[in-house]
Structures are given as C-alpha cells and as structure tokens.
C-alpha cells in the first residue's frame, strides 16, 4: 500500500461489560465482554481481508480500547507496533451518571432530561462532560499527534470510544453540532479514511460484516 494513501482507521472498542448491562461507563475502567472480545477480533479479520497494514496506533487510557487494539492487531499479525495512549482519547465523562443503568437514570431524572444529556452537543450531565467538552480535548490531540502521523505517510489505527471518535468524525465528515449527536458509531466496526495532502477526506469506507 503506497504511503501516498495516507491511511487513517478509526475503531470503536468492542462491547464492554457495562455496555452489556446498559450502564453509563465514561472513564470507569471496564474491560470487554466476551462479545466485545469477538468484535475486536472480527475487526482485525476484516481489516486483514482488506489488505490493511499499520505503522502506528493510538488509543485511550482505558482498558476496553487498549484491549480492543491488542486483539485486533494480534488477529492481523501486526503486534509490536508503536502505540500511544492518552486520556485525550478517553470516552466522554458522564459524571454523576457513571455506573447507573440508563433506564434507572430515566426514571430518576425523566426521559427528556437524560435524552438531552446523552444527545445534545453542549449540555453537561451533573459533574460530567458534554460532547462539546469531549471534542475540546480529543480534537487538539488529533491535530497535534494523529493527523501529522497520517500526513507524513504513516498508516494509522485509532482504537477509542464512541464519543471521542465522534469528535474526529465531526471534523473528517464535516458534521455540525446539530448533526453530530445523532451519529452512531457501532462497536468493533472499522471506519477507513484515506486523506488528501491538505488533510481533507479522499475516501471513506465502513467495514461492516
């Protein structure tokens, strides 16, 4: 694969134990469920089948993203890559909602309030981050570390979380604060971008099963 393709793949971690239980997770360090382990391996198989290779990987400070990255690369026969971990890529912090069942939260605060916390761009849950706050830490990290690697010709894999990856997709896909909250990222499904020299998107492919 020629360096000029400027490859960037974004991968949301596989299902976690708390995804399975429908709990708000945020920065709580919860590992993958058995389903999540299989999703991570399947992502690796899918990328290998598409002939993808990587030079460097970025992930968050949380085990579910790190474990996903390790399983994926093992499946591709690409262990031992340089790997950078940073909490700038962590999931959105849900504050007082962390550890609560989403249905219980709706009973406590009401459907409308919980929906607003989860799906608005700039409304913070009590003690937590809005999507806007998450963008404010993930995006500078992308611009300072991930994008320069891609533009230098390195093939880059980023294994992170639904909301931190939304921040990157927001820029790559040209989404707005109005449209980004509705965009869902499936667990374990690679988003394959190839960038132009000016950092705009030349192509995008979603590697679904």
Closest CA to 147 of 177, 168, 173, 167: 168
Q: Is the dihedral of CA 92, 96, 97, 98 positive or negative?
A: positive
CA angle 62, 32, 145 (to 5 degrees): 35
Concerning whether 67 is annotated as a catalytic residue, the answer is no
Bridge partners (DSSP) of residue 178 are none
Q: Is the dihedral of CA 194, 27, 144, 80 positive or negative?
A: negative
Concerning whether 13 is annotated as a catalytic residue, the answer is yes
Distance CA 209, CA 188 (A): 10
3-class SS shares of the chain: helix, strand, coil, % to 5:
45, 15, 40
Q: Which of 39, 42, 75, 91 is catalytic?
A: 91
Positions marked active-site: 13, 91
């Amino acid at each position: 694969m020629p360096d000029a393709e400027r490859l960037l793949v974004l991968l949301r971690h596989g299902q976690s134990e708390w995804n399975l239980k429908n709990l708000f997770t945020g920065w709580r360090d919860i590992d993958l469920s058995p389903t999540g382990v299989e999703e991570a391996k399947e992502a690796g198989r899918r990328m290998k089948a598409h002939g993808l290779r990587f030079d460097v990987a970025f992930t968050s400070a949380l085990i579910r993203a790190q474990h996903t990255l390790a399983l994926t690369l093992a499946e591709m026969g690409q262990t031992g890559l340089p790997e950078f971990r940073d909490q700038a890529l962590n999931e959105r912090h849900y504050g007082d909602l962390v550890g609560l069942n989403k249905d219980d939260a709706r009973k406590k605060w009401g459907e409308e309030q919980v929906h607003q916390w989860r799906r608005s761009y700039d409304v913070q849950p009590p003690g937590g981050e809005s999507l806007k706050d998450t963008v404010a830490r993930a995006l500078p990290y992308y611009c300072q570390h991930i994008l320069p690697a891609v533009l230098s010709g390195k093939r880059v894999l980023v294994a992170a979380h639904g909301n931190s990856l939304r921040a990157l997709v927001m820029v790559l896909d040209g989404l707005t604060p109005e449209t980004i909250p509705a965009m869902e990222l499936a667990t374990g499904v690679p988003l394959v971008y190839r960038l132009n020299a000016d950092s705009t998107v030349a192509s995008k492919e979603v590697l679904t099963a």
